[in-house]
Amino acid sequence: MKINVLFTYVSADDLSFTGRTSVVIDVLRASSTIVNALQNDAKEIIPVSTVEFAVKVSGGMFSGQTLLGGERNTKKVEGFALGNSPLEYLQELIAGKTIILYTTNGSKAIVKAKFSQTLLICSFLNISAIANYLVELNEDFEIVCSGKGSVFSMEDTVCAGKLISEIMKIHDDIELSDSARASLALNKNFGKNILKMLKETEHGKLLIENGFEEDLKFCSKLNYSNVVPYFSGNVIKALQVNKSIPV
Amino acid sequence: MKINVLFTYVSADDLSFTGRTSVVIDVLRASSTIVNALQNDAKEIIPVSTVEFAVKVSGGMFSGQTLLGGERNTKKVEGFALGNSPLEYLQELIAGKTIILYTTNGSKAIVKAKFSQTLLICSFLNISAIANYLVELNEDFEIVCSGKGSVFSMEDTVCAGKLISEIMKIHDDIELSDSARASLALNKNFGKNILKMLKETEHGKLLIENGFEEDLKFCSKLNYSNVVPYFSGNVIKALQVNKSIPV
């Protein structure tokens, strides 16, 4: 099983994902938010790469069943029902709902990788579930760190390294690219205390400055959920326990 | 002093370098070749981003004083006098000569960063010289790893981490970005035995397959040279010992 890590999605070509298995990570906060939304019984999440498209998509939906969520530079987009804090995605607000999600990087990274044959969303919250699924799938895959535009993010890479580390515990015959080996080493260096690591990253500091310290605590919860978010037909759903592709 | 590392140059905008201090690294092999060429008394090196431009530039030069050097995908470009192996750049061949250098990534990374106020070229061969120069300069700077297109290269990042580590030995008050902290950690993990690290990288393996194992040995020589290659007016020259900008 060959594993590669992209530290940012920006320079990748959309078509390069065609037919591949990809795992998108945006620890702070899109992938953590997606995991928590599905954990709290959201029907599905539609990631979009522009605010305009988010509004357009929501316009065609039945009112009451659709919520607009997301942020631009850590702040909730004006007129949206929800921001990008995973803690906002409470069961009583979102159960059974379709969420249209726009974020500065994470939703764009997912849309970029849309031609993947299999496209999963990972955060610290659901690492073991994703690791188990990938080992069962037993195919080469690429981890796409959302980063910050074209800029490297420590937290996404440490999460990528921890995912690889989990897989190596339960699967032999792994072949790592340079970036995958680097991610593994960075998890070894910085991944022992996830909350401490998050607080020391550029993005973590920015979130704390903006009053989102509780989000960092939530996003650091290792294996809080067994949800495997799966992107297919432009929507993200939770794979069923039997791990079949959602219809 | 703020330090940032770009793991690839591809997604950076040319103009983003305007006025900055930048250090380009392409351990295998462009930056090692440039250091060795200047160590062996080449007059100057003109990095170019296309083969066509290399040929065009050389056409306007006096014959005998100019050499075309470089590679495409590890192989010497047809019709060029020299490849991209630092070991080819012998004093008897290149002393006093202008070298026009085209390589798959390194020369392109340098051209990309051309608007920098100060632009230096670093490899393991001249890390201490570059560290000393940067500490004397005492300005924020960005290390540009050439990588492989948009793909991360372990060797460039470990070299970046070692440069940062050298600077931290002789300068306090350093502020590191996420990518700079990651580079420092990767140097700690992989930088103790440089030759071993080079042999285990994707690019190192490719060079060994193509018969360039001796290049890896040469490129691993820590502080083999005191040369500080400085890009100005589209050419790279060695800074004089007094570190003034070359005329």
Q: Taking residues B168-176, report their average pLDDT.
A: 95
Q: How far is B54 from chain A (nearest CA, A)?
A: 26
* pLDDT above 70: percentage of residues in chain B: 95
Q: How far is A52 from chain B (nearest CA, A)?
A: 25
pLDDT of residue A247: 41
pLDDT tens readout for residues B152-164: 999 999 999 999 9
Q: Taking residues B68-93, report their average pLDDT.
A: 93
Model confidence at B245: pLDDT above 60: no
φ, ψ of residue B21 to 5 degrees: the values are -100, 125
A71-85, B59-73, B81-95: the lowest-pLDDT one: B59-73
Q: How confident is the model at residue B61 (pLDDT cuts 50, 70, 90)?
A: low
pLDDT tens readout for residues B176-185: 999 999 999 9
One DSSP character per residue, A28-94 reads TTHHHHHHHHHHTT-SEEEEES-HHHHHHHHHTSPTTSEEEEEEETTEEPTT-SB-S-GGG--HHHH
3-state class (DSSP) for residue B163? helix
pLDDT of residue B241: 52
Task: Give the whole-angstrom CA distance, residue A119 versus residue A114.
Answer: 7
Inter-chain residue contact B186 with A188, CB threshold 8 Å: no
CA of A201: which chain B residue's CA is closest?
B178
Task: Give the whole-angstrom CA distance, residue B124 versus residue A61.
Answer: 58
pLDDT of residue B60: 66
Q: In sequence order, what are the residues at sequence separation of 6 or more whose Cβ sits closer than 8 angstroms to the Cβ of residue A158? A: A183, A186, A187, A190, A191, A194, A197
pLDDT tens readout for residues A73-83: 888 988 899 99
pLDDT of residue A150: 84
pLDDT of residue A73: 85
Task: Give the whole-angstrom CA distance, residue A36 versus residue A61.
Answer: 23
Q: Taking residues A137-143, report their average pLDDT.
A: 97
Instruction: Encode burial over A4-15: b for 16+ CB neighbours within 10 A, e otherwise.
Output: bbbbbbbbbeee
pLDDT of residue B56: 86
3-state class (DSSP) for residue A238? strand
φ, ψ of residue B73 to 5 degrees: the values are 55, 55
Question: Is B205 within 8 Å of chain A by CB?
Answer: no
One DSSP character per residue, B111-157 reads HHTTT-SEEEEE-GGGHHHHHHHHHHHT--EEEEE--BTTB--HHHH
Task: Give the whole-angstrom CA distance, residue A203 versus residue A196.
Answer: 13
CA of B197: which chain A residue's CA is closest?
A178
Contact A100, A66 (CB under 8 A): yes
Q: Residue B178 is nearest to which of A179, A182, A202, comparing CB atoms?
A: A202
Model pTM? 0.92
The tokens of B6 are what?
């770009």
Question: Is B124 within 8 Å of chain A by CB?
Answer: no
pLDDT of residue A60: 66
pLDDT of residue A62: 62
- Identify the helix (H) or strand (E) that includes residue B180: helix B178-190
pLDDT of residue A243: 41
Q: How many CB pairs under 8 A join A and B?
A: 59
Return the HEC string of A125-178: HHHHHHHHHHHHHCCCEEEEECCECCECCHHHHHHHHHHHHHHHHHCCCCEECH
Cα angle A91-A92-A98, degrees, rounded to a multiple of 5: 70
Average pLDDT value over all residues in chain B: 93
B178, B187, B201: best mutation site toward chain A, by most A Cβ within 10 Å? Answer: B178
pLDDT tens readout for residues A115-125: 999 999 999 99
Task: Give the whole-angstrom CA distance, residue A3 versus residue A23.
Answer: 11
Q: How far is A197 from chain B (nearest CA, A)?
A: 11
Question: Is A73 within 8 Å of chain B by CB?
Answer: no
Task: Give the whole-angstrom CA distance, residue B175 versus residue B161.
Answer: 14
Model confidence at B11: pLDDT above 90: no
Average pLDDT value over all residues in chain A: 93
Q: How confident is the model at residue A244 (pLDDT cuts 50, 70, 90)?
A: very low
Model confidence at A237: pLDDT above 60: yes
The candidate with the shortest Cα–Cα distance to A224, out of A130, A146, A105, A109, is A130
ipTM of the prediction: 0.90
pLDDT tens readout for residues A33-71: 999 999 999 999 999 999 988 988 887 666 678 999 999
Q: Residue B178 is nearest to which of A150, A154, A181, comparing CB atoms?
A: A154
Instruction: Encode burial over B66-102: b for 16+ CB neighbours within 10 A, e otherwise.
Output: bbbbbbeebebbeebbbbbbbbbbeeeebeebbbbbb
Q: Residue B152 is nearest to which of A150, A178, A188, comparing CB atoms?
A: A178
Contact A27, A161 (CB under 8 A): no
Residue scoring higher pLDDT (A112 or B62): A112
Task: Give the whole-angstrom CA distance, residue B133 versus residue B126.
Answer: 11
pLDDT of residue B62: 62
